[in-house]
Amino acid sequence: MTPSPMPAATPAPAHYDRMTITLHWLTAVLVVGLFALAEIWSFLPRGTPTRKLLQSLHISFGLAFAAVFVVRVVWRLSRGRRLPRAASGLLGVASTGVHGLLYLLMATQIVLGFLFRWAQGEPFAFFGLFNVPTLIAIDHEQRRFIGGLHDTVAWIIIVLALLHALAALFHHYFLRDGVLRRMLSSR
């Protein structure tokens, strides 16, 4: 009797699972959309109906972003497919670092968004369906400081997200290693 040959190693999956891909792109759309809403209303006079509408949409989509972020973290920690790093050495360290920093900054931004709204002393609603209760009383004087941090973190997230996108394009067009394709489709 001859020993059976060792089974071939299962190749690493070529794509992330659908849920991971969906949460990634939903996060990207929400981050860019939230940033755009805030930047657009900054050009409008205070108190105008359009500015108030954009702020209300920002709050509602911010709450949706918070929910998507929590689902994304839970999914990643429990079931999300982890693929081997596409790059090693300095590129691999940079990639891991930027991803970790983006997660940390997004979590920080969500907390700052809640704190800022509570410091304003105004209720905030999710598309008019329900109000989010004030869980922590924030001194109204802290509003400007928290708002400034919220704005600064938003800019840092946008810059890092842009670098993330440029890195994906670099991988796709110059390194031709399939990194971008892994996040485009699970088929």
Q: CATH number for the domain including 76?
A: 1.20.950.20
In a domain, 13, yes or no: no
In a domain, 183, yes or no: no
Those residues of the chain that have pLDDT short of 70 are 1-13, 80-88, 186-187
pLDDT at 122: 80
Tally of domains in the chain: 1
- Could you report the per-residue pLDDT of 114-148, keeping only the tens digit for each? 999 999 888 788 998 999 888 888 888 899 999 99
pLDDT at 82: 67
In a domain, 28, yes or no: yes
What is the Rg, in whole angstroms, of the alpha carbon atoms belonging to the chain?
Answer: 21
Residues 6+ apart with CB under 8 A from 15: 21, 181, 182, 183, 184, 185, 186, 187
In a domain, 65, yes or no: yes
In a domain, 187, yes or no: no
Q: Which domain holds residue 142?
A: 18-177
Host H or E run for residue 124: strand 124-126
In a domain, 186, yes or no: no
Buried residues in 164-177 as b, exposed as e (16+ CB within 10 A): beebbeebeeeeee
pLDDT at 88: 66
